[in-house]
Each structure stands twice: as C-alpha cells, then as structure tokens.
Chains A and B, each alone.
Chain A
Amino acid sequence: MRIVIFFIGLWGCFGYSQNKETLYDFTDLPQSLLLNPGTDINFDYHVGVPFLSQFHINAGLRGASIYDVFADDDRNVNDKIETTLNTLTSNDYLTLTQQLELISFGWESKKNKNIYFSGGIYQELDVIGYFPKDFVVLAYQGNRDFLNQPFRFSTINGSVELLTAFHFGYTKKVNKKLTFGARAKLYSSMFHIRSAKNSGTFTTVETPQGNNVYQHVISNADVTVRTSGYASLKDAEGKEIVNKLIGRAFLGGNLGVGVDIGFTHKINEQLAITGSANDLGMILYTKDVETYKARGNYVFEGFETPIQFSSQDAQNFLDELEEAVPLDTLSKAYVTMRPLKLNSSLRYSFNRYDDGTCDCYLEGEKPPYMDAVGLQFFTQFRPKRPQYAASLFYYKRFFNFLRTKLTYTIDDYSYYNIGFLTSIHINKINFYISANNLLEYTNLAKARGTSVQLGFNVIM
C-alpha cells in the first residue's frame, strides 16, 4: 500500500520528457552536438570541465501534480487522492531522466577545416513508469465497487535504465549549404528493468446461476518483467553495490551500440532547417539476466464444503494458483531498442551585427546574426506510444559574452511551458544554464514537469 501512495506522491514531484528544446541547435554550445551531430558549429576545439560539462535533469509527469494531492486547503487528503486517482488514466506517466557528462572534448581536423571531431562519456538514468491505474485502484479501493469490470495487466508498463555511453562523432560541412554529422555510441548498461506488452485480466464476476456468489477469474494472464544487473545486486549491500555499478559503467556491463545522425541545411543565408535522430541503437543483455514470467488462466469460486458432489480432492488455493499461473524465472538473453529521439527545426536568423567595430567574431569569419526565431519538433519513442513536443523559439545574442534562447513549448504535460537558456562566454570559458516550465517555478508543486541543465566548457 505504501507503494501506491509513493507512486501518487512521486507523480506529483515530476513532469517532463527527454526534450532539450533550449539546447537543441544552440550552436554556441558543444553540447548541442549531442542532440544533432550535424549542428552548424564554429569551434576550433572544446573541452568540457570533467563531471561539470553537462548536468541535466528532466522530470515529468502527465496527468497530475503534487499540488493535486497535498494542497494546503480544507479538503481531506484521502478525498484528494481519490479525485486524483479518478483523473489519472493508464496513459499518464512519470518520467525522470538524468544525465551527467563525465568527459567531453572536440577539435577541428587539421587536415580539413570543414571537419570537426567530438567525443566523450556520459552517464544516463532513464525512468518511465506508466500509471498502473487498474491495480492502483484495486489496491486503493478494492474490488467491491468494480464487480464484473476487468483489471487489466496491460496497465503495468515501465522501464528503468542506468547506463554510460561512450561516443565519438564526426561533423562535416559538406558545402556552404549542408552540414552533416554522425556519432557512434557504445552503451554499457549497469542496470535495467522493463515490463511491457503485458496482457490478460483479473475480474470478479457475479454469478447468480453459478456455484457461488462470484467467480474470481484470471484470464489469459501474460506478465513479463525483464531485469539485468539486478539479480547480483539483490543480496549486495552499500559499497558492494557502488563498486559493482562502477565496474559495469566502464564497459563491464551489458553492451550495446547506437548512432546519432543529423544535418543542418541552409536554404539561404538566413533560413535553415535541421533534423536529427538520436540513440538509434540497441543493447544486448546477456549478463546477470533474470526474466520473470507469469502466464495462465485461473478461476476461483470458493471452497466446496461440507457436502461435496464433485468428488475433487480438497483444494489448496495457493497451490492451485501457482500451478495454473506459474511464475518462471528465466535467464535468457534479450535485446531492447534504445528510446529513439527525433528532433527537427526551422530557423530564421536576422539582425546581423555588422557595424565594423564588433569584436563578436574572429577575424575572417562572417559576423553573426544577433537574433533568430523558429520552430522545433521533438518526438521520443516510449513503450506505449511516442511522446511529442512542439516549440517556438527566439534566440538572442546580446554581446559576445551573452547568448540566450527563449522557448515556448506545447507537450503532453502543459500548453504553456516557457524555457530559457543563458550561455555566458568569457574568453574561452563558458558557463550555461537552462530550465523550462519557468512559469511554474514560483510553485513547483503545481508543475507537471521541469527540466534543468547546466555546465562549464572551455571553447575556442
């Protein structure tokens, strides 16, 4: 039961997907290469400050907020939980993504100025849990008010993954109009749990003509929970867990491969379109794998006693259930696709800084445009269905040292999500910070999502 409340509570704390709308196509920052390896950047080299070049956290929740349950008003908290429960559907979800860049670097090819290499290592935690509405209702309200209504196992759906990614990318200005890029990734998964595509139902059926008042029916149950990196941690403690995870972080885990690809195409001097696909790849889980699988059908209608005509042996409810819906533990290897992310944008740049006295740009380079506006789209593939977001943005460069971007985003969580990024460049040193859902910042309790990223780089 604690889990139910925890789930609802957690629901309140978070809200967002892996969209980094402020960072996407922000050509002043090398981290934009992680979102689109074909970003039209202009660096000689860059080095991220180790462990500080990018910290990103992105928490999201579709369907409710913490305020819905814990608002300081006169209503009874139990009534509020019930109202929230009734509003949430099994399509609502909680997501949490956290990324930490350990190493980040890049340099312009000496042989060909049009080629830029970039690489690094980052750690990522990715959680998505769909609201298991039917079973939360069963735990919270019971079955009495839901007779003849099926509780669906398909509402159990979610995944947790902790991994590190080692990546190396190549960005090439093919010609004046086209920049293309690709990034190869090697994933080392430390921990993975996933339950998806479950099916079957549990129903309490009224049976006026039957043997007893009801039949409790488990019908075509097929529930699978895949884990890797979990079995060996079950009995481990504190330091041992940390040591094991660190070992797996550096290629000792379950390995996978993937690519990012992307491009920037300048239609003319001021108008550009971009597009990218990230994490097009998969991980093969072979080590420390445990898959739990329960399948079967079962009908329970009480115990026939004291007079038995069916001449069956005395029933043992639990034994029968275990036999009818056996729980198997398998250690067969499995493969999962990484959650593919797609980004695209249309950007119109204007207001070129060109009074001849500017120190905004290096000699020989064209003066930059000070403003840009545009549109961005984001899609992320998730176990149940893709998540979408669309943004309008305004980019503004104030001086050489201050570049900003303001976004307005519509997504699953909200229709008025304002995001902001500030990037400060003093000599080679760069610091950036970005957050979204700014309108909710005065009271995060009402927010359904928020995302923060910040970091330090040395850029030349």
Chain B
Amino acid sequence: MKTKKVSVLLCGICILMPLISCVKDVDFDQAEDVVLTPVYEVDFVYSRFDTSQFIDSNINPAIVVPEVIVNDTLSYDLLGTDFVVDNLERVELTFEFRNTIERNFEFDFGFLNDSDQRIGPLYSMTANSGNGEGTDPIVTTEVIILDTAEIDVLRDATRLISSMRVQNINSSLRGILELRSKGTYFFNYEL
C-alpha cells in the first residue's frame, strides 16, 4: 500500500501545483512610483570668429567702425515633440566663449514660431574682452536655465535667431573668438 500512498501524493501534488503557485512578496503598485530621469547632453550652437578672415589688414587702422552686427536665422526645433515638452523638467544651456580679441562681444539669441514671431525672451550675454593675439584666451561661461514654464512658452519654437555684436572695430584688431555650447535636457517621466 506504500506505493499507493506515494501515487496519491504525487497526483495530489500535480493537481495542487497550479493552485499553490502564486506570486507573493511583490507589490505591483510600485509601478506608479516609477520615474524615468534620463539626462541628455546635446550640442547647441558654435561659432568661430577669426579677425584675420574677417578684417582686411590693409585698411587704415585709423578707420574705426563703430558697431558690427552679424545676424543669423536657422531652422531649429529646440524641443521637438509634445512628448519632450510635457516631460522635460529643465534645460540648461551652457555657453563657453574663449576670446583673445581685445573687445567685448554681445551675443543674443531667441526663438521664432512658424509665423516668424519671437516667443520667449531674447537671451543676451557678453563675452569678455581678450588680451590680444597669442595670449591665453579669456574664458566666459554662461548658463541659461529654462524651467517648465519657459519650456512651455517655447513649445512652438521652430527657428533660432542669433546675433553677435561688437563695437569700435579697426584693422589692427587681432585674435579669435570661439563660442561652444551645449544643451543638457533633464527629463522626468512618470509612468
């Protein structure tokens, strides 16, 4: 009879197995607390201004141009899709100017919508004057932080306008101004 008991036991196990199998010690409600917080670093704008390419050294240095402004507009969809806008917590735009030209430069940028109207503020910064050609560049760093409110304003941005302004230019000025920048996008996406 011993084997019969064993067989009953085995049959029992086989019938009970699906019944006892369960999932425990887990809490699926935690899924609601899942937050994705990826951080992306993406290049923004860059520029390089070399006086030797821009200013003709044969011009009489006594001639001073009171102000030079260079403007540019380009297609730039800063935020892309609604998904990005809705789940972006913060954007940090970091600018680094390296200047050896003995002048301050004013750099502005802003955004346009499809109807060429500016949306959001015009962001301005100054690249400090350098000490002349061959010297160590003077480094100016600026960080612009866009919070959720500003990001929402810039939702419809499709174009980027930028300008560089410098005063009292003459042909004796020598040096290089470099601009490098990046955007750091902080997402906060709740499931």
Residues of chain A at the chain B interface (Cβ within 8 Å): 1-2, 4-5, 9, 66-67, 70-72, 76-78, 81, 138-145, 147, 204, 211-216, 300-309, 314-318, 398-399, 402, 404, 420, 422, 424, 433, 435, 438, 441-445, 452
Q: Identify which of B34, B45, B185 contacts A304 (C-beta below 8 A).
A: B45
Asked if B115 is at the interface (CB within 8 A of a chain A CB), the reply is no
Distance in angstroms from B164 CB to nearest chain A CB is: 5
Residues of chain B at the chain A interface (Cβ within 8 Å): 3-4, 6-7, 10-11, 13-14, 17-18, 20-28, 30-31, 33-50, 53, 70-77, 87, 94, 96, 107, 160, 162-164, 180-182, 184-185, 187, 189, 191
| Residues of A close to B185: CB separation below 8 A | 142
Provided the pairs A5-B34, A144-B39, A309-B50 are in contact, do residues A302 and B23 lie with their beta carbons within 8 angstroms?
no
| Residues of B close to A66: CB separation below 8 A | 23, 26
| B182 engages A144 (CB within 8 Å) | no
| A304 engages B47 (CB within 8 Å) | yes
| B36 engages A316 (CB within 8 Å) | no
Provided the pairs A2-B191, A5-B34, A438-B17 are in contact, do residues A300 and B25 lie with their beta carbons within 8 angstroms?
no
| A399 engages B7 (CB within 8 Å) | yes
| Residues of A close to B27: CB separation below 8 A | 70-72
Per DSSP, chain B at the interface is strand
| Residues of A close to B184: CB separation below 8 A | 144
21 contacts between A and B (CB under 8 A): A1-B189, A5-B36, A67-B26, A77-B33, A78-B34, A141-B39, A144-B41, A214-B42, A302-B42, A302-B43, A303-B45, A306-B107, A307-B47, A307-B70, A314-B73, A402-B7, A404-B10, A435-B18, A438-B17, A441-B17, A444-B22
| Residues of A close to B48: CB separation below 8 A | 211, 307, 309
7 residue pairs, one from A and one from B, having the closest CB atoms: A302-B43, A142-B38, A306-B72, A77-B30, A72-B27, A212-B46, A142-B39
| Residues of B close to A81: CB separation below 8 A | 34
Provided the pairs A213-B181, A444-B23 are in contact, do residues A301 and B43 lie with their beta carbons within 8 angstroms?
yes
User: In the bound complex, what is the Cα–Cα distance between A317 and B70 (angstroms)?
Assistant: 22
User: In the bound complex, what is the Cα–Cα distance between A443 and B23 (angstroms)?
Assistant: 5
Nearest chain B residue, comparing its CB with the CB of A406: B10
| B46 engages A147 (CB within 8 Å) | no
User: In the bound complex, what is the Cα–Cα distance between A406 and B63 (angstroms)?
Assistant: 98
| Residues of A close to B22: CB separation below 8 A | 442-444
Nearest chain A residue, comparing its CB with the CB of B32: A77
User: In the bound complex, what is the Cα–Cα distance between A285 and B46 (angstroms)?
Assistant: 49
User: In the bound complex, what is the Cα–Cα distance between A4 and B7 (angstroms)?
Assistant: 46
Q: Identify which of B17, B40, B191 contacts A5 (C-beta below 8 A).
A: B191
| Residues of B close to A143: CB separation below 8 A | 39-41
Provided the pairs A70-B30, A445-B24 are in contact, do residues A303 and B39 lie with their beta carbons within 8 angstroms?
no
| A142 engages B40 (CB within 8 Å) | yes
| Residues of B close to A441: CB separation below 8 A | 17, 20-21
Nearest chain A residue, comparing its CB with the CB of B108: A306
User: In the bound complex, what is the Cα–Cα distance between A316 and B10 (angstroms)?
Assistant: 70
User: In the bound complex, what is the Cα–Cα distance between A2 and B87 (angstroms)?
Assistant: 13
User: In the bound complex, what is the Cα–Cα distance between A5 and B27 (angstroms)?
Assistant: 15
Nearest chain A residue, comparing its CB with the CB of B73: A314
Nearest chain A residue, comparing its CB with the CB of B71: A306
| A141 engages B38 (CB within 8 Å) | yes
Nearest chain B residue, comparing its CB with the CB of A424: B11
| Residues of A close to B14: CB separation below 8 A | 420, 422, 433
| A305 engages B72 (CB within 8 Å) | yes
User: In the bound complex, what is the Cα–Cα distance between A305 and B75 (angstroms)?
Assistant: 11
Provided the pairs A306-B72, A309-B50 are in contact, do residues A5 and B31 lie with their beta carbons within 8 angstroms?
yes
Distance in angstroms from A26 CB to nearest chain B CB is: 14
User: In the bound complex, what is the Cα–Cα distance between A324 and B26 (angstroms)?
Assistant: 47
User: In the bound complex, what is the Cα–Cα distance between A71 and B36 (angstroms)?
Assistant: 19
| A442 engages B187 (CB within 8 Å) | no
| Residues of A close to B187: CB separation below 8 A | 142
| B41 engages A204 (CB within 8 Å) | yes
User: In the bound complex, what is the Cα–Cα distance between A213 and B42 (angstroms)?
Assistant: 9
Distance in angstroms from B53 CB to nearest chain A CB is: 6
User: In the bound complex, what is the Cα–Cα distance between A143 and B17 (angstroms)?
Assistant: 46
| A70 engages B31 (CB within 8 Å) | yes
User: In the bound complex, what is the Cα–Cα distance between A398 and B2 (angstroms)?
Assistant: 11
Nearest chain B residue, comparing its CB with the CB of A402: B7
Nearest chain B residue, comparing its CB with the CB of A443: B24
Distance in angstroms from A285 CB to nearest chain B CB is: 33
User: In the bound complex, what is the Cα–Cα distance between A144 and B162 (angstroms)?
Assistant: 26
| Residues of A close to B33: CB separation below 8 A | 76-78
| A306 engages B36 (CB within 8 Å) | no
Distance in angstroms from B67 CB to nearest chain A CB is: 15
| B45 engages A70 (CB within 8 Å) | no
Distance in angstroms from B46 CB to nearest chain A CB is: 4
| Residues of A close to B42: CB separation below 8 A | 214, 216, 302
Nearest chain B residue, comparing its CB with the CB of A80: B30
| B39 engages A306 (CB within 8 Å) | no
User: In the bound complex, what is the Cα–Cα distance between A272 and B3 (angstroms)?
Assistant: 27
Nearest chain A residue, comparing its CB with the CB of B21: A441
| Residues of B close to A435: CB separation below 8 A | 17-18
Distance in angstroms from A76 CB to nearest chain B CB is: 7
| Residues of A close to B17: CB separation below 8 A | 420, 435, 438, 441
| Residues of B close to A140: CB separation below 8 A | 36, 38
Known: A142-B38, A424-B11. 6 other contacts (CB 8 A): A5-B36, A70-B31, A213-B43, A302-B44, A402-B11, A444-B23
